[in-house]
């Protein structure tokens, strides 16, 4: 093959594309693939002092060079090579080096070769044979400039993506803050207004109000105060959980006795709504969890069951031991499963999707004028997961709901 070359003398240094460092490890990486050994030697003489250069005489050999850990920024490949064309090699290199700039060397004007190179090899440009030394040097320099431009563009795209993600997070926080302020304005303002109004009536008409009326007003004041206390407690809990301020201290304890106390505590409230509370458990069910946090979780679940159940219905609280496989948690000694099942209105598919979200407002409403902040179940989920447990709900609209909490059983180290 005739080559048009203008080689410098052996004492003359190769023209550099800019100020390149002499340390080969820090130089720009170039891979040249051609089945003509003489041509590779000529190109090596041109580029070896300027770039960190590797050469290969076939596509298979070039792929081995890449797989060995050499990742060039620019790849030059001859199109017409036996076994594997330049386009085919460049196409196979894309998976490993998607950002490399690819160049095809060809001495032919075959249109199909050009089409294959563009479609298969993601080729940036073509260089025809024969070529001039200064032309190929300049072409390679421009390829590295193009690589730098693409890298900078990718960095800007990533920065833009990170900025967009940060913007979405900021918007979510802003929306959450607005939700918080809305709850504070509505759920705190109204009870405070009610308490103030009742206090004014008691102060102004205390001489004429009979004992029954006074007791009713005082009971309303207590209920309104409880609503505000519940909301403030939940908001503080959410804030503490998100800041990582809630420190849980798992210990072995008998959860059956603790749950029984909660069931008995809600007995009077259930009786007022003609709801029958049933409790089934075996003695010796010992969990490895934070005792106070566990009671907060189960208090919320039993309270909700009573709160959302219509009159003359049943609420079932059940405890039993299960295996770690059934519980799907990492506990070497098994788990304790707690179920709280009601006969309320159940949950729709839409409700199920947002059930454990913060400020979740569901279609189901309390049946006895009770109050709901929409925060309780989000707190429950966070606490249970912090204790290496799981919580979920099984429900169909119109068929009640069963909330399940699984906590590690005491007896061995938790993985």
The model's confidence at residue 401, banded by pLDDT at 50, 70 and 90, is very high
CATH of 251-408, one of 3.10.180.10, 3.30.565.10, 3.40.50.720, 3.40.640.10: 3.30.565.10
pLDDT score of 8: 32
Evaluate the CA torsion angle 116, 129, 135, 54 in order and state its sign.
positive
Across the range 169-178, mean pLDDT stands at: 73
Distances (CA, A) of 86 to 33, 37, 92, 170, 222: 8, 16, 10, 49, 83
Residue extent(s) of CATH 1.10.287.130 domains in the chain? 174-243
Q: What tens digit of pLDDT does each residue of 286-323 get?
A: 999 999 889 989 988 998 899 888 899 999 999 999 98
184, pLDDT greater than 70: no
Residue extent(s) of CATH 3.40.50.2300 domains in the chain? 24-131
d(CA 260, CA 281): 9
Q: What tens digit of pLDDT does each residue of 31-88 get?
A: 999 998 888 899 989 998 899 999 999 999 999 999 999 999 999 998 888 889 888 8
pLDDT score of 28: 92
Note the CATH number of domain 24-131.
3.40.50.2300
Beta strands across the sheet bearing 101-106: 52-56, 29-33, 74-78, 101-106, 125-128
Break the chain down into helix, strand, coil percent, rounded to 5: 50, 15, 35
- CATH level 3 topology of 174-243: Helix Hairpins (1.10.287)
Provide the percentage of residues in the chain whose pLDDT is more than 70: 79
CB 293 within 8 A of CB 383: yes
d(CA 147, CA 152): 9
Q: What tens digit of pLDDT does each residue of 146-166 get?
A: 999 988 888 888 888 888 888
CB 105 within 8 A of CB 34: yes
The backbone torsions φ and ψ at residue 381, rounded to the nearest 5 degrees and listed phi first, read -60, -45
């Amino acid at each position: 093959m005739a080559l048009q070359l203008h080689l410098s003398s052996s004492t003359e240094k190769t023209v550099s594309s800019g100020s390149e460092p002499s340390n080969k490890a820090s130089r720009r990486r170039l891979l040249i693939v051609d089945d003509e050994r003489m041509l590779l030697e000529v190109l090596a003489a041109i580029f070896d002092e300027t770039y960190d250069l590797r050469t290969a005489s076939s596509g298979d050999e070039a792929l081995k060079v890449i797989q060995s850990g050499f990742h060039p920024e620019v790849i030059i490949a001859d199109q017409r090579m036996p076994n594997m064309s330049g386009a085919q090699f460049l196409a196979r290199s894309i998976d490993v080096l998607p950002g490399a700039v690819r160049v095809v060397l060809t001495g032919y004007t075959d249109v199909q070769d050009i089409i294959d190179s563009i479609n298969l090899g993601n080729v940036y440009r073509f260089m025809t044979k024969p070529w001039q030394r200064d032309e190929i040097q300049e072409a390679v320099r421009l390829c590295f400039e193009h690589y730098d431009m693409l890298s900078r563009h990718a960095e800007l795209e990533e920065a833009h993506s990170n900025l967009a993600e940060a913007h979405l997070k900021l918007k979510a926080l802003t929306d959450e803050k607005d939700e918080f302020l809305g709850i504070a304005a509505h759920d705190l303002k109204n009870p405070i207004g009610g308490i103030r109004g009742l206090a004014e009536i008691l102060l102004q008409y205390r001489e004429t109000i009979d004992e029954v009326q006074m007791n009713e007003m005082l009971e309303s004041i207590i209920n309104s105060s409880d609503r505000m206390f519940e909301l403030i407690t939940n908001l503080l809990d959410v804030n503490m959980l998100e800041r990582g301020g809630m420190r849980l201290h798992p210990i072995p304890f008998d959860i059956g006795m603790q749950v029984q106390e909660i069931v008995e505590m809600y007995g009077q409230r259930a009786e007022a709504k003609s709801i029958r509370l049933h409790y089934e458990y075996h003695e010796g069910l010992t969990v490895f969890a934070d005792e106070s946090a566990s009671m907060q979780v189960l208090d919320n679940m039993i309270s909700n069951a009573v709160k959302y159940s219509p009159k003359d219905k049943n609420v079932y609280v059940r405890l039993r031991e299960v295996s770690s496989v059934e519980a799907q948690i990492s506990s070497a000694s098994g788990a304790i499963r707690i179920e709280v099942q009601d006969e309320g209105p159940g949950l729709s598919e839409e409700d199920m999707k947002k059930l454990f979200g913060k400020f979740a407002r569901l279609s189901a409403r309390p049946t006895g004028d009770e109050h709901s902040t929409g925060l309780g179940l989000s707190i429950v989920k966070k606490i249970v997961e912090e204790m290496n447990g799981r919580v979920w709900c099984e429900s169909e609209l119109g068929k009640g709901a069963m909330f399940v909490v699984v906590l590690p059983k005491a007896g061995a180290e938790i993985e």
